[in-house]
C-alpha cells in the first residue's frame, strides 16, 4: 500500500515538474537537466519518508518517472 501511495504522490510531483518546465521554456537544456535531477531527488525522498526501503523507493521513483514521461509522449503524439 505504501508503494501505491508513493506512486500516486510521485505522479503529482511529475505533473508539477511538467508545469514548471513549461513555465521555464527558454531555459538552457543543462538547467532543465538539473531541474529533473532535483525533482527526482524530491520524489525519492518522499518515497523514503513514506516508509519504503531505499531500493524500493529508487525503483518506484524510476518507475513513476518512466510511466509519466512515456504517457506524456503518448498523449503529445495523439494530440498532434
Residue spans of the domains in the chain: they are 2-79
Name the pLDDT band for 80 (thresholds 50, 70, 90).
Answer: confident
Give the pLDDT confidence score for residue 73 in this predicted structure.
92
What digits encode the pLDDT tens for the residues 26-73? 889 999 999 999 999 999 999 999 999 999 999 999 999 999 999 999
Angle at 14 between CA 60 and CA 26, to 5 degrees: 140
Using pLDDT thresholds of 50, 70 and 90, give the confidence band for residue 7. Answer: very high
- The 10 Å Cβ neighbour count of residue 2 is 14
Which pTM value belongs to this model?
A: 0.88
**What pLDDT shows up at residue 51?**
95
Amino acid at each position: 500500500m505504501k508503494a501505491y501511495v508513493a506512486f500516486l504522490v510521485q505522479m503529482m510531483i511529475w505533473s508539477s515538474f511538467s508545469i514548471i518546465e513549461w513555465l521555464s521554456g527558454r531555459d538552457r537544456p543543462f538547467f532543465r537537466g538539473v531541474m529533473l535531477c532535483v525533482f527526482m531527488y524530491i520524489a525519492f525522498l518522499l518515497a523514503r519518508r513514506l516508509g519504503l526501503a531505499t531500493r524500493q523507493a529508487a525503483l518506484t521513483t524510476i518507475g513513476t518517472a518512466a510511466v509519466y514521461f512515456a504517457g506524456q509522449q503518448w498523449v503529445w503524439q495523439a494530440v498532434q
